[in-house]
Structure formats: C-alpha cells, structure tokens
Amino acid sequence: MFFTGFPHLGYFSSSNVLVTGITWISGLLLITIPILFLIFLLVRIFSDYRVKKRIRNSMVGTWLAAVILFIFSFAFQIPNYSNNSSIIEFTKVEMADDLVKIDYDDFETDDEFMISFGETFVNKYALYGDDVRVSIFKTDSTHITIEKEIRSQGRTRPSAKKYAKQVDIQEKVRNNTILIPEYYRIDKGEKYRGQNVRYRIYIPKDKKVEVAKNMRWIIRNNDFSRDDD
C-alpha cells in the first residue's frame, strides 16, 4: 500500500517541502532496508553468498539514520494538528409531509480505483473521508433546520478554518427525504487535517422520522427513536 499510495501522500504532508521529503524518504528506508536484510538472509540460507561486512554496516547505519530523521520530521508534522476550527452552515427546509426520511445520498466518484488510508480513501482526483455523523433533534419550530458543521485541525486556527473550507459536501432534499452524503471530498492539491462533518437536523416534534437502516451507525442521537420505546 505504501508504494501504491505514495503519489497521494501530498494530502497528509506538511507545507514545508524539505520536511515532507525527509519524512517520506526516511519512512521508505525504514521499510525497504529490513526487507533487503530478509532477502539477504534467505539467500544466505539457500546459497553460499555472504553480504560484505561494509555493505551490511552501511545498511545498518542508513537504517538508524532513517529512524532519527523520521522521528524528527514526524515530530515537525504534529503541530499541523495542534489547533481546531470549524465553519457552520444553516439550511431551512419546508416540508408538508408528516413523515421525514433520512437516507444516504448515492456516492459517486470520477474514478472507481480507490486506495484506503484508514478512514480516508483517495483516487487520482480527490480524497474522500467517511467521518460524517448525524444527530436528529425535536424542535418546536414549524420548519426543518439542517445545521452542518465542518471541523478541521491545523497549525493555527486560521489555517484550520481554511482547511475546513476545502471540504466539499452537500446534503440534498428530495420530496420528504433528506439525503446525507456518505463521504466528504477534498480535491487533489488540498490538505487533509482530520476534517470531519457533523450534521444536526432539527425536525418539528409533531412529525415522524424514519432513518434508513444502512446508515444507523452514523446516527449519534435521534430524539424520535425514543417514541418507539
């Protein structure tokens, strides 16, 4: 995965090109040198070949230097996540139906080939994150309010807000259904800094709410579910 995903690591890199280069090159050496030692060990078992001492010592020295450089450069990356900020958007929805449905919006991408980095996925066009959560509350209001908060981390609060603004995610309303995207998108060339999206949907208390079964795991709170108890 490391070699396949290497071209996409810019999403996670620092703005300092030198430090970014040191981080990924030292990380690559940390992986490749032990693999080479394993190969040499197998060759030694099945043949009379022996690696010269100076080559072996050079590899050990390079690996130790890579460890030190990786720790240093990785520590330099930590402040990129030291501050938090968010942006909040509100949308009012008028809905005559007594039943309000909450469902996923169909996920579409320009390229089917995806590489996984834990909670995020990348292809040649964008990074997609699945840290999207929904809370549903009762309200005395006569209309539905969709509150969308996009959070991010950054080296400073202004930079964290800038990264939050880079997130592309848009809910939709069709008839009596509110469609929540399964993933948010960050276009190629932008930075991933732990962005996440929190929806808080306020629905008039006299309505009924139906949540699609396939998205129940992202529901943090649902006031209407207590009516079924």
Least confident of 3-17, 68-82, 127-141, 168-182: 3-17
1 pLDDT exceeds 60? Answer: no
Q: Which token pair is 158?
A: 């202004």
Per-residue pLDDT tens digits for 38-93: 988 888 888 877 778 888 899 999 999 999 988 888 788 888 889 999 999 999 99
pTM confidence score = 0.78
Q: What is the 3-state secondary structure (H, E, C) of the chain?
A: CHHHHHHHHHHHCCCCHHHHHHHHHHHHHHHHHHHHHHHHHHHHHHCCCCCCHHHHHHHHHHHHHHHHHHHHHHHHHHHHHCEEEEEEEEEEECCCCCEEEEEEECCCCCCCCCEEECCEEECCCEEEECCEEEEEEEECCCCEEEEEEEEEEECCHHHHHHHHHCCECCCEEECCEEEEECCEEEECCCCCCCCEEEEEEEEECCCEEEECHHHHHHEEEEHHHHHHC
Question: Which residue ranges make up each domain of the chain?
Answer: 2-79, 83-228
Per-residue pLDDT tens digits for 174-228: 999 999 999 999 998 899 999 999 999 999 999 999 999 988 889 999 999 866 5
Q: Is the dihedral of CA 11, 15, 17, 21 positive or negative?
A: negative
* CB-CB contact of 193 with 122 (8 Å): no
Q: Which of 34-38, 120-124, 196-200 holds the top average pLDDT?
A: 196-200
pLDDT number for residue 11: 80
